Structure 1
Amino acid sequence: MTRRFKIGDHVSWNSEAGRVSGTIIAVHTSDFDYKGHTHHATEDDPQYEIKSDKTDHVAAHKGSTLDHAK
């Protein structure tokens, strides 16, 4: 089962720099362009834009890579 999140949820994920946390700012349910690349998303497998707590960097990830942050 795909994990579902909504705008405002606080989540965490692994990055090259270690564990990162942030807040979901957008949910995509269809393909979208992000930083010059097409990201694939569907209603059944959405992608999320997350703003990092520490750097304000915005990243896009599938729900399978995210966990609810504590």
Structure 2
Amino acid sequence: MSDKFRPGDAVEWNSHGGIAKGKVKKKLTSRTTIKGHQVAASMDNPEYLVETGQGGQAAHKPGALRKRPG
């Protein structure tokens, strides 16, 4: 299976405040902690670390992200 997203890809996702935008920083394939929250990523269940323009970071499952044009 090929990677759905690559570092630097511009993406958007649904957030409690509307549509959030950011860039993919890296693919997560092992358990990690972001902002005090456990992310249960694995090789079979990867997540993507994304960063907003304001510097906020979060992990999202591939199905929650959409590539932004250009």
What interval of TM-score do these two structures reach, taking the shorter chain for normalisation?
0.7 to 0.9
The answer (yes or no) to whether the contact 2:34–2:57 under 8 Å persists in 1 is: no
Unaligned runs of 5+ in 2: none
Q: Show the 5 A alignment for 1:1-70.
A: 4-53=4-53, 55-70=54-69
TM-score, normalised to structure 1's length?
A: 0.82
Matched letter for residue 31 of structure 2: D
Matched letter for residue 24 of structure 1: V
Partner secondary structure for residue 64 of structure 1: helix
TM-score, normalised to structure 2's length?
A: 0.82
> What do residues 27-50 of structure 1 show as CA deviations (whole Å, max 9, x unaligned)?
110111111121111223211111
The percent identity for this pair of structures is 34
Unaligned runs of 5+ in 1: none
Distance in 2, matches of 1:56 and 1:34, equals 13
Distance in 2, matches of 1:68 and 1:45, equals 19
Distance in 1, matches of 2:63 and 2:41, equals 12
Distance in 2, matches of 1:60 and 1:22, equals 11
Residues matched between the structures, number: 67
Matched letter for residue 23 of structure 2: T
